[in-house]
């Protein structure tokens, strides 16, 4: 009796026993899913705050002597 699992990324059914990329169906799904997970972990917050500091790009320098 083969154990079958679903790929966390594309939900396809794959054999657990003979799957080197388990629980994923393929190396591609593994890379994509782990990559997305790692990216999401690093973009929890802080991206939007970056926009405010962009205003100091220097249009007209009023304070220049």
Give me the residues that bind Zn ion (CB under 5 A), please: 7, 9-10, 25, 29
Partners of 4 in the beta sheet? 15
Q: Which is nearer to Zn ion, 22 or 46 (CB)?
A: 22
Q: Note whether 27 and 12 are within 8 A (CB).
A: no
Q: Which is nearer to Zn ion, 13 or 54 (CB)?
A: 13
As measured in angstroms, the least distance from the Cβ of 26 to Zn ion is: 6
As measured in angstroms, the least distance from the Cβ of 56 to Zn ion is: 45
- Name, in order, each residue with C-beta under 8 angstroms of 5's C-beta and a sequence gap of 6 or more: 13, 14, 16, 19, 22, 23
């Amino acid at each position: 009796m083969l154990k079958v699992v679903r790929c966390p990324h594309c939900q396809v059914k794959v054999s657990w026993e003979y799957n080197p990329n388990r629980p994923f169906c393929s190396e591609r799904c593994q890379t994509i899913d782990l990559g997305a997970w790692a990216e999401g972990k690093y973009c929890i917050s802080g991206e939007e705050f970056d926009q405010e500091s962009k205003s100091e790009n220097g249009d007209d320098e009023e304070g220049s002597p």
